[in-house]
Amino acid sequence: MEPRPEQLFHYQQQPQDQQQQQQRQRPQNVVFMTRRPEQRPESDQVVVYVIDELTLQMFIRKVYLIAIIFILSTSVTWLSIAASGFEFYPTIPVPFFVWLLPILPLILILDCVPKIRYTFPWNWAITILIVILITFAGACFMDEIEFLTVLLGVAISIVIVAAFYVCGALCPQSFVPGILCTAVLSCLFLITLFSIGIVLIFVKSPVLYLVFGILLLCMTVVIMPFHAQYIHGRLQVVPLFDVLHCSMTIYFHFIVTFSALCIFEFYMKHKDD
């Protein structure tokens, strides 16, 4: 049964009278939103909604619009610093890692506290704060990188992110990584990156930096198509209430891709050292 535009169909597995009687006994506490009603869970405690095409398209546009705003705000700030030669770190003597330290607790708050994650203005405040912290952390290095290098890195990063999101949104699902493949590869990449990161604390080798950058980019390339499927409703669940979370994930993919490209540039400058 295909949903009609501007409607949400509520699929019920039991007659209405019987279901209302059960609702008085125990409330239904799980909402399952999907574009595939045949995949709905077999449980009388699950309320299943089929998302129509219009609602899904509005969600997708909002996700990408917010992600583009985040990416442009950071990119314009970095490009302005690189073009003007403004020395951000001497002016604000805070090391880059100090800007990065609060990000993990903030992400954990968004992921683990639903009342904050889905409540305005707390979700917006934390998300914008994360973007500002990442922007300031990157600004510590922008006076050391040439403007054209930053511009090229931003442009290539946007192209890479856009290409793999288009791939995840449009390519046949048999050609893009599924949830199991993505999870296994991501774990392997994370373990390897963590190990190399520990070694880099003691051994400053351009080759190790290059390997770290390659693995970082590969991990992001694996995750991006899967996340695109998640946003476009190609998986079992549609994240209709997670607009900010999905937008921030796209922003993270841009930042990681740009960081990997900066590592490649660092290797090219110091490979003969």
Residue 85 lies in a domain: yes
- Judgement on whether residues 77 and 24 belong to the same structural domain of the protein: no
- Judgement on whether residues 85 and 203 belong to the same structural domain of the protein: yes
Which residues, including other chains, have CB under 8 Å from residue 118's CB and lie 6 or more apart? 241
Residue 22: pLDDT over 50: no
- Judgement on whether residues 59 and 33 belong to the same structural domain of the protein: no
| pLDDT of the residue at 56 | 84
The count of structural domains within the chain is: 2
Strand pairing category for 9-11 and 46-50: antiparallel
| pLDDT of the residue at 47 | 58
In a 3-state reduction of DSSP, which class is residue 52?
coil
Residue 230 lies in a domain: yes
Query: Which pTM value belongs to this model?
Result: 0.81
Domain that holds residue 33: 9-50
| pLDDT tens figures, 206-241 | 888 889 999 999 999 999 999 999 998 888 777 888
Residue 238 lies in a domain: yes
| pLDDT of the residue at 48 | 60
Residue 4 lies in a domain: no
Name residue, tokens 């704060």: 129
- Judgement on whether residues 59 and 185 belong to the same structural domain of the protein: yes
Q: Hey, what amino acid is at 140?
A: C
Q: What is the mean pLDDT of residues 188-196?
A: 92
Task: For CA atoms 160, 164, 169, 171, give the dihedral sign.
Answer: positive
